[in-house]
Structures are given as structure tokens and as C-alpha cells.
Amino acid sequence: MRRMCLAALVMVIIPMSATADEFRALLDESDALLKAGLQRVADPTTSGLYLKAYHLAAKAADMQPGSYEANWKAARLARCYCGQIRWFLIKDWKKECVRVAKPAMKYGQRAIELEPKRVEGHFWYACLIGSYSDGVSIITALKEGLKNKTQHSLEAAVRIDPAYWDYSPYLGLGEFWYLLPWPLKDASKARDLLEKYNKHVPATADNIEEGWVYLGMVLLESKDAKDKARGRQYLQKAAAGRFPYFANMAKEALR
């Protein structure tokens, strides 16, 4: 009887240990791919690294749904992939953003439920809604009731840790208020947040050109000549930047 109990105990412990090891290995490999990708963001093929990393993190999150780490990392990598294919205007990027971002939102939502006072879940969930909106249009996203969810998550991210991911919560919330259609758009709030982002963001940040574009466009809408001149400077820098998506936006705004 004792031997049977010991055998049963071993059978329980070993599979649990193997599962834990596989879970950790999935996240470690995913982290390594992300690190490699972040070192070559100016290469459009980096999107392939991000997609592979996303699948690994998503598998880990599905394996352990109660893991905050796995869920927010899966949400982050889905956004990194969608961002990369948008930045380089890779063929059918809008459809691909919808395909990946929509189901990946569950990881962001789950992360928020697990740790509502942590910044990662809020930030990446809002970013995924942004990627989904890029694909279906902002109007469609509004009709689907995603405005309040995006606003709540971005405001939570700014409140919890505005310096996260090179001060990107400021950038995300600033874009949010700028891109909303009238009468929801609030250019004053957008400018305040985008000014904060551009003031604090490190010069080496991946998102810096995005910040230049949106602040530049906000400033061009000002009636003040100095604001307009500064806006053109930001847009000229973005127009000469690394990413075709933002370069094209900047050139169009300058025209």
C-alpha cells in the first residue's frame, strides 16, 4: 500500500514539475526573441521574431491562465508584432492586425483582472485595442464599445507608471485624445500628454518618431505661429525617420 502511494505521489509531482519547466522555457525563449527583436527594430523582418515570440508566450498563458507574467507578455508581443508590420506597411497589415490583436486582447484583459494595480496589463491591453482599431477603423471600434475600455486602461497606465516602456503611457493617451473623431477629440489633452512624452522620452526609444508625428500634427493645428513652426520641425524629423508609416504621415501633414 505504501509503495502504491509513493508511486502515485511521484506520478503527480513529475508531471507538475515537467509542466512548470515547459512553462518557464516557453517564456524564457519568448523573452530572448523579444530582446533580439528590440535590437533590430529598423528591420521589417523583425516582425517574424515577434510573431514567434507571441505564439510562445500565448502558449504559456494558455497553459497557466492564472499567470500574470504570461498574460501580459503575450499581450505585449502581439502588440509588438502588429506595431512592426504597421510601421513598415507590410502587405495586408491591417487584416493581420485584426487577426492577431482581437484574440490577443483576452491576455491583456486577463492580466488586468489578475493584477489591476500593475501597469503592464492596462498598457498592453489598450495598445492591442489600438492595433485592432488600426485594422477595422476607429469608427468601428467606437461602435463596438471599445472607447471607454481604451480610455480606462490608458488612464490607469499613466496613473500607475507614466515612465513605463519609455514613457509610452503618455504617448498612448495623447494619441487617444487626438485621434478620436469630433466631438470626442480633445486636442488640449492630447497636446499636454504628447508634450510630456516628448519631454521625457529617451532619444533612443523605438516610439520616438511616433511621438514626433502626433505632437507635430497637434502643434500644426494651433493658431500660434511658434507652435506651427515647432510642429513642422517635429514632422520634418519624422519624415526622415526609420519607419515608412510615420514618415508618410509626416510628409502628408507637411503638405
Q: 166 in the Ramachandran plot: left (φ > 0), alpha (ψ -120 to 50) or beta?
A: left
Neighbours of 139 (CB within 10 A): 10
Greatest alpha-carbon pair distance for the chain in Å reads 88
- Position 1 scores a pLDDT of 52
Radius of gyration of the chain (CA): 21
CB within 8 Å of 239: residues ≥ 6 apart: 247, 250, 251, 254
- Position 6 scores a pLDDT of 44
Instruction: Using CA atoms of 181, 186, 191, 193 in order, give the dihedral in degrees to the nearest 10.
Output: -100
Q: For residues 243 and 224, is the Cβ–Cβ distance under 8 A?
A: no
Q: Minimal CA–CA distance to 73: which of 96, 48, 107?
A: 107
In this structure, which CATH number among 3.40.50.300, 1.25.40.10, 3.60.90.10, 3.40.190.10 belongs to the domain 45-161? 1.25.40.10
Q: For residues 121 and 68, is the Cβ–Cβ distance under 8 A?
A: yes
Q: For the chain, which residues score pLDDT lower than 70?
A: 1-18
How many residues are there in the chain? 255
Q: What are the extents of the domains in the chain? A: 45-161, 190-255
Q: For residues 161 and 200, is the Cβ–Cβ distance under 8 A?
A: no
- DSSP H helical segments within the chain, as ranges? 2-38, 46-63, 68-87, 93-114, 119-136, 138-143, 147-160, 164-179, 187-200, 208-220, 225-239, 244-254
- Position 8 scores a pLDDT of 46
